[in-house]
Structure 1
Amino acid sequence: MKNTKSEISDRESNSNTKEMTLTKELKVPAKPKNARGMVDNVLEQFNSASDQIGLHPNIRKILSITNNEVIVNFPVKMDNGDVEIFQGYRVQHNNALGPYKGGLRYHPTVDIDAARALAMWMTWKTSLAGLPYGGGKGGIQLDPSKYSKDELERITRRFTFALGDNIGPEHDIPAPDVNTNAQTMAWMADTYMSTKAPAARSMNQHVVTGKPIGSGGLEGRDRATGYGVFLTIKFWIEENNETLEGKTFIVQGFGNVGYWAAYFLEKEGAKMIGVQDAYGSIKNGNGIKVEDLFNYTKANNGSLVGYPESEAMEKEDFFALDCDICIPAALGNQITEGNAHLIKANLIAEGANGPINVEGEKILLEKGVTIIPDILCNSGGVITSYFEWLQNRNGELWNMEEVIERLDKKLKESYTKVSDYAKLEGIDMRKAAYCIAIQRIEKAYVQRGIFP
């Protein structure tokens, strides 16, 4: 492995390498009539795996719905003195294995349905990883690029206050997600701890994970999700007796996850030939240098548009680029029945949650494309969130080398379980991952029973 642990340790980065990358002109497309949403996708995936393992009907009923859904409306004073009302969400799907765990995102597409689907995915993700967590998710429906840093701080603190005891270090533990970062988590932790008695404040530091290192955060948490995407790709490549040297890849989404996945892939000799973000799409068959593009976007308000060592291309043509590996690391439902037939990659690594809908996946599987599913591929983030939670809970400090070593081991165990199960049962990797995750939760219910 070319990128040694010391190289990883020496790399300095904030918890989000590109903050608030949405363009102010970004509009959320209207959902087509009768279009499938993410909840439809996750439920179909769940039911397919449940059929595969013969899940008990009563447990299927429990896991088909969420435990709690919190919607809060709260006022925030803007810099100009006006007051805006925001709507925030926190959906808690299941806690049979432990506290709810999952990110908070700030994005115009955030709504209760999206939060439901993402919370369910988190339940399967934490179960598959063998963590003592359930699944939760939430956020605020807003475009953060339209607000100043001071406004975002007030929005975050007021949202945290509105959630109240619906979150907590042993109940529901938020983390960063789309357009939130270590700073967001620091504001949340400070606000939450400020509502507790002085003697209990230090005991509540682990109410959120993904914090800055100086505020109880974990070394390496910033790159963990992207590094995990890279690792699962590497595991698959090695399993097929190949190497990453000379492999080509494209990345949709050049934020924290996409950047770090690309960074580590390039270190192993792979070549990035196409990138797409909220601003535009670019390509270069000879390769796009990851660090050069990252530095360009930092100097260009987060946008990759106009990057000199590339050619602009139409958004609709991006997934048709001829490559070995495709990494959708942006939002859900990006690969559908409308564009799945265009994909030429033979491996898709889901850096985002739910980037492929059910119909699109059927097309890809018929074409012989391998998909490393989101609940395995991007689980590096929640695994290291667990490490941070333990670090805070036990009053410990873990260094980068220790974090990466533990993450390597945990992801290798998960990947091997999924790959072996898929081969044994003759099924795809997503269904295998779901089967393993659901069976662990089923076992908890069978052993404990249903109250009362």
Structure 2
Amino acid sequence: MISETIKKDGPARQGMLANVMRQFEHAADSIELNPNIRKILAITNNELVVHFPVKMDSGEIEVFTGYRVQHNNALGPYKGGLRYHPTVDLDAARALAMWMTWKTALAGLPYGGAKGGIQIDPKKYSNAELERITRRFTYALGDNIGPELDIPAPDVNTNSQTMAWILDTYMSTRTPNERSKNLHVVTGKPIGAGGSEGRDRATGFGVFLTVKFWAEKEKLDLKGKTFIVQGFGNVGYWASWFLEKEGAKLIAVQDVTGTYYNKEGIPVDELNDYQKSAGSLEGYNNAALMANDKFFATDCDICIPAALGNQITASNAHDIKAKVIAEGANGPTDIDAEEVLLQKDITIIPDILCNSGGVIGSYFEWLQNRNGEIWTMDEVMEKLEKKLKTSFDRVMNLSQERGVDTRTAAFMIAIERLEQAYIQRGIFP
């Protein structure tokens, strides 16, 4: 059984760009953004669409379409993930690239924003085919990516192996003298290929940390609190793992195969082990199947949407009972739903803050590669927590000072940083 919430990607995909633009315009109005800078930030810098042929295991040729949208690089190289999903198109990449610009600016990183990927359902292809598709896509991108220009990372349906294939392909196109200087062309690599300790769990750890900071702010103990997670991939798993260690209880999880509920709690590692062996959550017998459209209505303390965009809509927002929504995914809440949630006094930890642990971890990896350093897991986690706490406090403080919601506060901080950069640098010529 396929989740109707996650399945309806068409309308969600079309709405993501409209959502991020409305969020941007609202924050821009709130800070009275310079109208000339508003024009610049409202559009992307570069948009690349590539069509490339790949030989399948059968010997037949299939042509794929890949995208890379570079939104802004006023603060540094473009940075953002590559996803392999049927919903990938130009509008989706535009929206996600813009969110990356705000995310890196909010985190105080020397990066801009980019996003892209391939319009593909990776489950339909063998591992050997995915390797050839990835390498051919990398070759098609050519000099449009680079360690000081545009640095891809894993995203939906891509992982450290994908990044290793991109790294190897990119380095093979460089001269022997250049190869040692290009290790940081991608982040999220395997440890043996120059990856960083902790990068695998950085996004989920960041989601957990922002929930922890929220609980501390509200003087709440996470022990005994209940949470639900939509999407049990890398982000959903690690966010759940850290929350469980704090004594919180996972009571419902949803993936493309259905919604699984157990009010007594679902053991996180047991669920992860089952998913690894079965390939999905389908058939997991330590939880009962429940109707997909009842997932967000589950009585819980914490809701973590960690799947795709526009999953919380005006049609289901009224049913949400959680005290806080921690946006592990990019753009999981649409504008109309957000108005409902704010009226219900539900706290939203916005995506550009909540899931920024991933890009912060990527920055640490990039920095280590660039400087020839190797940090321990403890060093990475400690630096990540410190950086996220700074961002969290700034957002919450501004939200209170200006009387705005948390998303608007986060956008205001990000956009003001970019505005300052443009004012100080001027516009060429």
**Which TM-score applies when normalising by structure 2?**
0.98
Q: Is the 8 A contact 1:274 1:282 kept in 2?
A: yes
Q: What corresponds to 1:61 in structure 2?
A: 39
Letter matched to residue 386 of structure 2: K
1:341 aligns with 2:318: yes
Structure 2 unaligned regions, length at least 5: none
1:153 aligns with 2:127: no
| CA distance in structure 2 between the aligned counterparts of 1:343 and 1:443, rounded to whole angstroms | 38
Q: Is the 8 A contact 2:304 2:326 kept in 1?
A: yes
Q: How many residues align?
A: 428
1:436 aligns with 2:413: yes
Letter matched to residue 390 of structure 2: E
Counterpart secondary structure, 2:102 = helix
2:225 corresponds, among 222, 243, 247, to: 247
| Residues 249-296 of structure 1: CA deviation (Å, up to 9, x unaligned) | 000000000000000000000000000011111001111110111111
- CA-CA distance at 1:37 after TM superposition: 1.1
Q: Is the 8 A contact 2:9 2:87 kept in 1?
A: no
Counterpart secondary structure, 2:10 = coil
| CA distance in structure 1 between the aligned counterparts of 2:384 and 2:322, rounded to whole angstroms | 27
| CA distance in structure 2 between the aligned counterparts of 1:141 and 1:195, rounded to whole angstroms | 25
| Residues 109-139 of structure 1: CA deviation (Å, up to 9, x unaligned) | 1110000000000000000000000000000
Q: What corresponds to 1:137 in structure 2?
A: 115
- CA-CA distance at 1:100 after TM superposition: 0.3
Shift in CA distance, 426/27, structure 1 to aligned 2, threshold 3 Å: closer
| Residues 413-440 of structure 1: CA deviation (Å, up to 9, x unaligned) | 0001101100101111100000000000
| Residues 290-309 of structure 1: CA deviation (Å, up to 9, x unaligned) | 011111111212x2122121
Q: What corresponds to 1:15 in structure 2?
A: none
| CA distance in structure 1 between the aligned counterparts of 2:304 and 2:229, rounded to whole angstroms | 5
Counterpart secondary structure, 2:67 = strand
1:313 aligns with 2:290: yes
Structure 1 unaligned regions, length at least 5: 1-21
Q: What corresponds to 1:196 in structure 2?
A: 174
| CA distance in structure 2 between the aligned counterparts of 1:394 and 1:35, rounded to whole angstroms | 39
1:31 aligns with 2:10: yes
1:255-404 superposed matches below 5 A: 255-301=233-279, 303-404=280-381
- CA-CA distance at 1:377 after TM superposition: 0.2
CA RMSD of the aligned region, Å?
1.6
Letter matched to residue 344 of structure 1: K
Shift in CA distance, 71/420, structure 1 to aligned 2, threshold 3 Å: same
Counterpart secondary structure, 1:70 = strand
Letter matched to residue 399 of structure 2: A
Letter matched to residue 223 of structure 1: R
Letter matched to residue 396 of structure 2: S
| CA distance in structure 2 between the aligned counterparts of 1:128 and 1:215, rounded to whole angstroms | 29
Letter matched to residue 350 of structure 1: E
Q: Is the 8 A contact 2:7 2:256 kept in 1?
A: no
- CA-CA distance at 1:30 after TM superposition: 6.9
Q: Is the 8 A contact 2:13 2:87 kept in 1?
A: no
Q: Is the 8 A contact 1:28 1:108 kept in 2?
A: no
| CA distance in structure 2 between the aligned counterparts of 1:29 and 1:374, rounded to whole angstroms | 20
**Which TM-score applies when normalising by structure 1?**
0.93
Query: Sequence identity of aligned pairs in percent?
Result: 69
